[in-house]
Amino acid sequence: MQERAVKSRINVCRVGPFPRVNPPVFISSALVVVAFVLFGVFFKDAAEAAFNAVQGVITHYLGWYYMLATSVFVGFVLWLLMSRYGDIRLGDPHEKPEFGYFSWFSMLFSAGMGIGLLFWSVAEPMYHYLSPPFAVAGETQRAAEVAMRTTFFHWGLHAWAIYVIVGLALAYFAYRHKLPLAIRSAFYPLLGDRIYGWPGHLIDIAAVFGTLFGVATSLGLGVQQVNAGLAYLLGVPQGLGVQIGLIIVITGIATASVLTGLNKGVKLLSSLNIWLALLLLTAVLVLGPTVYIFNTFVETTGRYLQNLVVMSFWTDTVGNTGWAGSWTVFYWGWWMAWAPFVGMFIARISRGRTVREFTLGVLFVPTLVTFLWLSVMGGTAMFHELVGSGGIAAAVESDLTTALYVMLDRLPLSGLTATLATLVVITFFVTSSDSGSLVIDMLTSGGELDPPRVQRVFWAVAEGFVAVALLVSGGLGALQTASIATGLLFSVVMLLMIVSLLKAFRDEPINPTVRDREPKAPSEPYGDVEHPRGAD
């Protein structure tokens, strides 16, 4: 089989102390980040007012768009799973995956959900139990049922379908057509060589912002929960100053991990992270109401599937309570903001898999694990609220960052499980930060798979500063606004990605032996790649 020479046409050069960056993307992104941090820290009131205004406009006028776009993403991925394109291999015809299934799933889960799942697994079901959607009365048995399936909905197929689209598009064009591993590469069928000019730069800049603010949102949530855990365990005071100090310390740990690269630091931390999370999951499952948890998992999964279509298109038109904008639109924006980060990271670790294997692995396995996690944590909290001594919902109303620890306090060995939970939050924090900074560095260096260390340090530190700026200028509300706004921008990019993928798939030789053949050469070669035009 003829080999194809690869030569990226994205201009990469030295800018100051940074040896290999794409100047338009790097400089533009860095300047906006610096301006945002300065605005958030030194003009706190103005920044908070701006965040509130942006969130109000988007949720009021564009909530329907978020619901529709995300449903399109799910529909496309399900169609793709059953389509004839499933046998296409993300790489050369006989290429084998770089990572085994356990390492692959560990990195998928750690990058895709991370801190947020720890933060919301108890707090969200309790919130919905108190104030449920669909005009259901709060603090009732019906409210408990709706609360659990709604939480499943926000963390289920829709989130992972978003990641499938971005990850698949990147992996397909990078490994199948030998283009740089950059968001712009997914648009070659639509833009041609213009991906190497300003249209491509703007696409990558949008991806940098989505990644940076999506990860910063998770870091902001995570540091609040770490603070709550340390307050519970050691009596450390809760406050902004402590949280900023925690961001500095944990960002330093994440930076050290990034410097060691994907195969060392990130992989090892992801594996440690998943083992600690499994240990915590098992501890709560055994020490908690085990039968109730399994019943919750089975029943809530059924209710989720039964109501999936209705929930996917519900915009609260008649009630007009603002619930959908505060919750579902926030989540869809958050997942879309995370999509460039998680999608690129998934693409980076998925070379050699087929389209069907990729889609099955990314869509269903993490979803089922997430449902199990929510059943264990949220189900245990709901059990104690409905059957036990209660008090968890009240704790959420008072301070949602303490919800996980209040739930664990209802179990035997609460000190041990609370310590373990804090370690899991910290490792999730670190894996989100180091994975995010690695992806941003790749985006700003023209898709280079192993960017220079000094650039990785810069973006790891930048993530920490953005998280600090968001906390200072509005806390949770600012974090939500950052996700919703950047998600809106990237949703348009994702819709165009689908069009581009479909256009490229039409050039594939679809037959029973497709996995043993080269992709059909397009009329114009992708990048500086010599595509063979004969048979193998």
pLDDT in tens, 101-157: 877 887 777 665 666 788 789 999 999 999 999 989 999 999 999 999 999 999 999
Confidence of residue 522 (pLDDT cuts 50, 70, 90): very low
Buried b (16+ CB within 10 A) or exposed e, 18-37: bebbbebbbebbbeebeebb
Give the three-class secondary structure for 14. strand
Residue appearing with tokens 């050069």: 13
How much is the average pLDDT of 507-512? 64
Residue 255 banded pLDDT, cuts 50, 70, 90:
confident
The mean pLDDT value of the chain amounts to 84
Least confident of 143-152, 225-234, 377-386, 495-504: 225-234
Residue 534 C-alpha from the chain's centroid: 41
Residue 53 lies in a domain: yes
Does pLDDT of 7 surpass 60? no
- What band does 267 get if pLDDT is binned at 50, 70 and 90? low
Largest CA distance in the chain: 72
pLDDT level of residue 70 (50, 70, 90 thresholds): very high
> What letter represents residue 242's amino acid?
V
Give the span between the Cα atoms of 237 and 232, in whole angstroms. Answer: 9
Q: Tell me which H or E stretch contains 468.
A: helix 453-472
Q: Tell me what the mean pLDDT of segment 204-225 comes to.
A: 82
Half-sphere exposure of residue 438: CA atoms within 13 angstroms, side-chain side: 32
Angle made by CA atoms 207, 212, 216, in degrees to the nearest 5: 150
* Secondary structure element (H or E) that encloses residue 303, with its range: helix 290-306
20 sits in which H/E element:
strand 18-21
More confident residue, 83 or 52: 83
- Determine contact, residues 237/231, Cβ cutoff 8 Å: yes
Burial class (CB in 10 A: 0-12, 13-18, 19+), 54: middle
Is 164 contained in some domain? Answer: yes
Is 366 domain-assigned? Answer: yes
In a domain, 337, yes or no: yes
Choose the weakest-confidence range: 221-230, 471-480, 487-496.
471-480
| Nearest partner of 258 among 92, 451, 390, judged by Cα | 451
Q: Is the pLDDT of residue 75 over 90?
A: yes
Q: Which pLDDT score is estimated for 111?
A: 61
167 near 358, Cβ under 8 Å? yes
Residue 279 belongs to some domain of the structure: yes
Distance CA 305, CA 30 (A): 43
Domain hosting residue 276, numbered range: 13-82+153-221+240-284+326-371+411-509
Lowest mean pLDDT among 114-123, 291-300, 495-504: 114-123
Residue 528 pLDDT exceeds 70: no
Of 68-77, 107-116, 285-294, least confident by mean pLDDT is 107-116
- pLDDT band of residue 476 (cuts 50, 70, 90) is low
Q: What does the radius of gyration of the chain's CA atoms come to, in whole angstroms?
A: 23
In sequence order, the 6+-apart residues with CB closer than 8 A to the CB of 348 are 181, 262, 439, 442, 449
Q: What is the Cα–Cα distance from 184 to 22, expressed in whole angstroms?
A: 13
Residue 403 lies in a domain: no
Q: How far is it, in rounded angstroms, from Cα 374 to Cα 298?
A: 12
**Can you tell me the mean pLDDT for 522-530?**
44
pLDDT at 357 over 50: yes
Average pLDDT value for residue range 175-184: 88
Q: Is the pLDDT of residue 531 over 70?
A: no
How far out from the chain centre does Cα 300 lie?
23
Average pLDDT estimate for 288-309? 97
User: Alpha carbon of 44 to those of 36, 40, 221, 268: distances in Å?
Assistant: 11, 5, 19, 38
Give the residue-averaged pLDDT of 516-523.
46
Number of domains in the chain: 1
Over range 407-413, report the average pLDDT: 92
pLDDT for residue 261: 58
Q: At residue 19, what is the residue type?
A: P
What Å distances lie between residue 341 and 105, 320, 322, 374, 380, CA to CA? Answer: 16, 33, 29, 23, 32
pLDDT over 50 (residue 234): yes
Q: How confident is the model at residue 536 (pLDDT cuts 50, 70, 90)?
A: very low
Q: State mean pLDDT over 16-20.
A: 77
Helix (H, G, I), strand (E, B) or coil at 13: strand
Name the percent of the chain lying above pLDDT 70. 89
Distance (Å, rounded) from C-alpha 113 to C-alpha 270? 12
Which is more confidently placed, 381 or 447? 381
Residue % of the chain over a pLDDT of 90: 35
Q: Which helix (H) or strand (E) holds 21?
A: strand 18-21
* Residue 309: pLDDT over 70: yes
Strands (E), 312-421: none
354 has which bridge partners? 89
Q: What residues contact residue 535 under an 8 Å CB cut-off, 6+ apart?
A: 517
The token pair that represents 407 in the structure block? 């739930």
| Mean pLDDT confidence for 233-242 | 87
Give the residue-averaged pLDDT of 22-43.
85
In a domain, 459, yes or no: yes
pTM: 0.87
Where does residue 82 rank: exposed (0-12), middle (13-18), buried (19+ CB within 10 A)? Answer: exposed
User: When comparing pLDDT for 109 and 212, which is higher?
Assistant: 212
Residue 231 falls within a domain, yes or no? no
Rounded to whole angstroms, how far apart are CA atoms 450 and 306?
45
Are the C-beta atoms of 395 and 142 separated by less than 8 Å?
no
CB-CB contact of 470 with 216 (8 Å)? yes
Distance between CA atoms of residues 147 and 149, nearest Å? 6
The answer on pLDDT for 512 being more than 80 is: no
Highest mean pLDDT among 141-145, 435-439, 486-490: 141-145
Q: State the Cα–Cα distance between residues 14 and 22, nearest whole angstrom.
A: 9
